[in-house]
Amino acid sequence: MSNDSYTRHIPPFSDVLSELPPQFPDETETDVVVIGAGPNGLLAAAYLTAAGLDVTVVERRFEIGGGLATEEILFPGHYANTHASYHYMVDYLPPLTDFDMAGQGLRYHKPYGQIGGVFGEDYVYLCKSFEDSRDALARFGIDQADAYGRMATRFHQIVDEILAPATYLPPDPPVDLTQALQRTAIGQDMLEVSEMSALELISSYGMRDSIQATLLYSACQWGLSPIESGVGFMVPLMVDRGTQKAFIQGGSHRLASSFARVILRQGGLILDNAAVVEITTDGDSATGVVLDDGRKIRTRKAVLSTLDPQSTFLRLLPAEAVPAEVRDAADGWVWDKWSLLSVFFVTKGKPQWKPNPNNGMIGLPTPFDTILGFDDTEDVTSFFDSIEKGEIPKFAGHFTVETEFDPTLSQVEGEDVCFFQMPAPYDWDWDGRGDEVVREVTALLDSHYEGFAESVIDCVVETPKTIEQRIPCMRRGSIKHGDYNPLQMGFNRPSVECSSSRTPVNGLYLGGASMFPGGMVIGGPGYIAAQVICEDIEVKFPFDRPDRLKRYLDTYFPDGKD
């Protein structure tokens, strides 16, 4: 296809058009270019513009947001959160308090019912309220409620005191971190759980199998192996935050819009339909970017890439600008061990849970996620194992009746939006077996929800391949831009040279999900990048550190960090 007419120059044939005002200049200059308008890019741009910097955010897609996407893929009139449907770290995300996000129309809502787990005859119900969860589990025996209580309390302390604040500070070398954590009992606890696998940790509390299965699925669904040790610290995070998830009224995209409003008001510029094809360099310094239509944006201070390491270091930068060890690290980057399959449905009316006399839970509010299709803990473990090997042993996962929580997602009265999601391998015959996916998932839901199959009006399947097509730096459908394994976490994410956001290329910073501490709309990479950029270019970071971060630093690094 020829692109020769794709021009911002006025063709000579029209007298009218020759009087037009100029279009966007071919060459512009700015303090900082942020590559990618996902949650981290937007968050960083909000802080950098607040610091008084001139910032241009460039986004490849026609909409900003990256994983914060609420789009009308169920056309016409129904919206789906195609990536993140809820967020984990709402209680901790600094920008939510630093900026007047509520004033931009942002409303988070944390549903009462967080997780429902259907395992055999058991229905495990977990709430955002600790004691209500214990009440719901007490029907399996007070000992069960107590065991859960011990686990949940411990997990929450680890998150609240260590993991949450550490999310927003540059990572420490493992030796330093170990030393620091030794200072408190909770820190020692965390060191202990880090050595364990998810399965070992969760089964160490003596809980009933159905409860363990529910927790294990919740801990691992986003890409943690149940049996791998060394990333055990992720389990408290996933489990604790998994029962504290909050969604945004109006869809996840509203967070992106709210950031955009802040950025624009502070003088920033956002360009969409603007794909970066090159990060320009002068010697060992980054000097700007080139867009796919030839436009050049020069930077006076910094380029911040929120893309995956292969895109940044192997595709966009000239080879000679990148040190060999960084290129090698990028080359050896391991993508997520599995991706996601999402099936979005439009139904006539909200799916109604089939009355189940055994669950005894009728009358409780619908949980945000309901885990369906597994037998027990062993089944969950072997399911993840098969998915990791590239197989789909069966269709089982979690289901959310989204319009139950956010009616704005359907613009057509009487029609509702819901979605089923499950871990899924990238390498599978998605093209050839698409019908099977819909049939199997519909059958699973039909067995739990009254007349589900008949109520379906429309359905869209988003496979690992479509995730990659929408957002190419989620290569192989990697929603976290790269696997969570010990070699790619903490100080190693994405490599020891770059996990602080600084890179060996002067003026080039990283700030996406592939950087410490990772993805899942936790905002850490963007927040750290903004702090580090401000520090390097000697501009005052526009907000004080949250008290929680200060307490963490005082407790664990009383002598300061390097």
| Token duo for residue 409 | 């997602």
SS3 491: helix
Q: Does 252 bind other proteins (CB under 8 A)?
A: no
Cβ at position 60, least distance to other proteins in Å: 7
Stretch that binds other proteins, among 230-238, 254-262, 338-346, 483-491 (CB under 8 A): 254-262
**Longest alpha-carbon distance in the chain:** 84
Q: Does 275 bind other proteins (CB under 8 A)?
A: yes
CB 222 within 8 Å of CB 513: no
| Interacting residue with other proteins among 6, 120, 227, 349 (CB under 8 A) | 6
SS (H, E, C) 220-249: HCCCCCCCCECCCCHHHHHHHHHCCCEEEC
Stretch that binds other proteins, among 213-221, 467-475, 497-505, 518-526 (CB under 8 A): 467-475
Stretch that binds other proteins, among 266-274, 315-323, 442-450, 517-525 (CB under 8 A): 266-274
Q: How far apart are CA 74 and CA 411, in angstroms?
A: 11
Stretch that binds other proteins, among 69-77, 209-217, 221-229, 500-508 (CB under 8 A): 69-77
Q: Does 249 bind other proteins (CB under 8 A)?
A: yes
| Interacting residue with other proteins among 149, 230, 407, 546 (CB under 8 A) | 407
SS3 212: helix
By C-alpha distance, which of 303, 286, 233 is closest to 58?
303
Which residues lie below 8 Å from residue 103, measured CB to CB, with a gap of 6+?
A: none
Tell me which long-range contacts 137-144 makes (C-beta under 8 A, separation of at least 24): 137/211, 139/360, 140/208, 140/210, 140/211, 141/208, 143/206, 144/207, 144/208, 144/211
Site string for other proteins, 105-144 (x = CB under 8 A): x-x-------------------------------------
| Interacting residue with other proteins among 220, 289, 409, 473 (CB under 8 A) | 409
Stretch that binds other proteins, among 63-71, 495-503, 504-512, 517-525 (CB under 8 A): 63-71
| Interacting residue with other proteins among 120, 174, 206, 267 (CB under 8 A) | 267
Q: Does 178 bind other proteins (CB under 8 A)?
A: no
Q: Does 70 bind other proteins (CB under 8 A)?
A: yes
Stretch that binds other proteins, among 13-21, 37-45, 122-130, 238-246 (CB under 8 A): 13-21
SS3 540: coil
By C-alpha distance, which of 303, 404, 396 is closest to 350?
404
Is 179 exposed, middle or buried (CB count within 10 Å of its CB: 0-12, 13-18, 19+)?
Answer: middle
Contact positions toward other proteins, by CB under 8 A?
1-8, 10-11, 13-17, 19-24, 60-63, 70-73, 75-77, 79, 102-105, 107, 249-251, 254, 257, 260-261, 264-265, 267, 269-275, 292-293, 407-409, 411-412, 460, 466-470, 472
